[in-house]
Amino acid sequence: MSETPFTGVRVRHDSAKSYDELLAALLADIGEQPVPINEISAASGDWRSYQETVEKFVGPSGFMLFALLDHGGWIPKAGIERKAMRVILGNPLIAITMIRHDVTAALFAPVELLLLDEEDGHSSLTYVKPSSLMVVEPNPALLGAAEQLDAKLTALAAKVT
């Protein structure tokens, strides 16, 4: 067993939108239904056909929805009265730009966002900067690809918030 400590960077975007408006804006970009990525992988032949199939699901900002985890559905049972949605989104065609430089980058692809309702009726979108998770040892090629993902994620967050 070995351990490699690293530090993640949390990014928060505040929004004047309500939680429901923010969630709707995000899903309008990445899709409202999770993409059946495992089925696509099983059905696709070579890399070219896989790419062509995946591209059909990519939203305007370059991402697609993989899963929604509604923490707001269960945390009220523990006395936390908040809406909280964990959104797993990504794009295998972006992920491969990092994974080809370090397969362990796949630990953090796809990426995750947390949408929260805030006390003032507004909302927030929080995520951990992918490059801060993926690049734990010097790897300029991986860093460059991960920083491109950082920029795409920041652009999506700015767009929807």
Quote the radius of gyration of the chain (alpha carbons, Å).
17
| Each residue's pLDDT tens digit, 107-119 | 999 999 999 999 8
Q: State the total domains in the chain.
A: 1
Which residues lie across from 84 on neighbouring strands? Answer: 116
115: domain range?
A: 10-160
pLDDT at 8 over 90: yes
Is 113 strand, coil or helix?
strand
pLDDT at 44 over 80: no
The CA distances from residue 88 to 26, 32, 101, in Å, are: 11, 12, 22
> 4 lies in a domain?
no
| Each residue's pLDDT tens digit, 57-94 | 999 999 999 999 999 999 999 999 999 999 999 999 99
How sure is the predictor about 24, in pLDDT bands with cuts at 50, 70 and 90? very high
What is this structure's pTM? 0.94
Is 68 strand, coil or helix?
strand
DSSP string, 9-38: -EEEEEESS-HHHHHHHHHHHH-SS---HH
The enclosing domain of 132 has a CATH number of 3.30.310.70
